[in-house]
Amino acid sequence: MPLILGIETSCDETSAAVVADGTRILSNVISSQAVHKDFGGVVPELAARAHVRNLLPVVRAALRGAGASLEDVDAIAVTAGPGLVGALLVGVSFAKSVAFARGLPLLAVHHIEAHLFATRLLDPPAALDFLALVVSGGHTALIQVDGPRRYRLLGETIDDAAGEAFDKVAKLVGLPYPGGAEVDRLARRGDPGAFDLPRSRLAAGSLDFSFSGLKTAVKYLLRDRPELIEPSRLPDLLASFQAAAVDVLVEKTMAAARRSGKRRVALVGGVAANTSLRERLAAAAARERIELVVPPPVLCTDNAAMVAAVGDHLLGIGANASLDLTPQAILPLPTERSASDS
C-alpha cells in the first residue's frame, strides 16, 4: 500500500496531501492565498513568497491529519508544471530536499494530468476512460483520456481560460478576485436571456475555445450602459455572460464526447464548481445517455491529493524524476494530436 506525499504550489493554492494506493485520501490540506485580492489577479512574486511561508505548516498538517510521519511515506510527488515558475519552484525545491534527505523516490507531476486523476479519488474511483473538460483559471481543454498517460488533446482555448473570463468579468463589475464563484451566485438571480452576448465557436467543427471576445463584449456593453452595474441590473448582465460561456462549453464538450466515442464525460478544474455548467452539462449528457463524472469542488480546485494520485501511478511504472528536476511554466501533456484535428 504505497503512501504518497503530494505537494502542489503551481498557482495560488499551497497544498499537501497524503494518499494511499493512489485512491484513498488520508489528508488533503489546502491553504488559499488571500494576498492577491487587492490586485485583481495572482501576483506571481507574492504567490511564491506566500508558498515559502505556508508550505512547511501545510505539509506538517497533512502528515498529522494522515496520522503519518515522513518515515511512513514511500515517495514524494510534486507538481513540476505547467504553472507560475516561481511558485512551482517552491514546491519542487522542497520536494527535492525531502527526497534527497530521506532517500525517497521523487515524482514529477503534470498539473493537468493531476486534474484528470482527481476522478481516481472518488468512491469508487473512476476508470481513466472518458472525455474530460478541464476548466479552470489557467486552462480550458477537452482531453480524450484512454488510460493513464494516454491522452489526446481535442481542443483548448486560444486566448483566455474560462475561469479567467469569469474573473475578468467579475473585475469589470467591481467584484474581488477571484470572482468566478460570486458571478455564479449573482447570476442565479438574473435572466440569462437579458442580453445577447457572442458565442465564439471558431471554425466549423473546431473544438477549440475563445473567451476574450465575450469578455470584451461585456466591457463595451458596460461602457455604453454603465447603469447595468447597479445591483438591480447586475444579475441579468452576469447571467447573460454566464449563459454565453456555458453554452459553448457544453456544446463543445458534447461534440468532443461524440467524436471520441466515449460514453463518460468528466468535468474537472475550478470552474467545475459552476452551478449552471454542472446543471447544463448534466442535462445534455443525460439526453445522450452519457455518464457525467464531477468530483466534489475540493477535488476540482487545485489540491495536492490529485498530485499524489498521479504520483502513485508514476511510482508504479518506475517513472521517477531525478534530483536535477526543474519546474516548467509551459509543459505539454503527453498527447497524440494528429494533423487532421488542427
Which of the choices ligand KG4, Zn ion, none does residue 31 contact, using the CB cut-off of 5 to 8 A by kind?
none
Which of 14, 302, 314, 331 contacts ligand KG4 by CB under 6 A? 302
Contact yes or no for 116/143 (Cβ under 8 A) = yes
| Nearer of residues 167 and 302 to Zn ion, judged by Cβ | 302
| Nearer of residues 3 and 307 to ligand KG4, judged by Cβ | 307
Is 119 one of the binding residues for ligand KG4 (CB under 6 A)? no
130-135 and 140-147 strand pairing: antiparallel
Q: Which residue is nearest to ligand KG4 (CB)?
A: 270
Joined together, the cell numbers standing for residue 98 give 525531502
Which of the choices Zn ion, ligand KG4, none does residue 180 contact, using the CB cut-off of 5 to 8 A by kind?
ligand KG4
Is 136 one of the binding residues for ligand KG4 (CB under 6 A)? yes
**Distance between CA atoms of residues 99 and 313, nearest Å:** 18
Residues 160-179 that bind ligand KG4 (CB under 6 A): 163, 166-167, 178
Nearest approach, Cβ of residue 246 and ligand KG4 (Å): 9
Is 136 one of the binding residues for Zn ion (CB under 5 A)? yes
Is 253 one of the binding residues for ligand KG4 (CB under 6 A)? no
Dihedral class, residue 40 (left if φ above 0, else alpha if ψ from -120 to 50, else beta): left
For ligand KG4 (CB under 6 A), the number of binding residues is 18
The pairs formed by 319-324 with CB atoms below 8 angstroms and a separation of 24 or more are: 319/107, 320/75, 320/105, 320/106, 320/107, 321/80, 321/106, 321/107, 321/108, 322/106, 323/96, 323/99, 323/100, 323/106
Helix axes 234-260, 180-187, angle to 10 degrees: 110
Is 274 one of the binding residues for ligand KG4 (CB under 6 A)? yes
Give me the residues that bind ligand KG4 (CB under 6 A), please: 11, 136-138, 163, 166-167, 178, 180-181, 184, 269-271, 273-274, 301-302
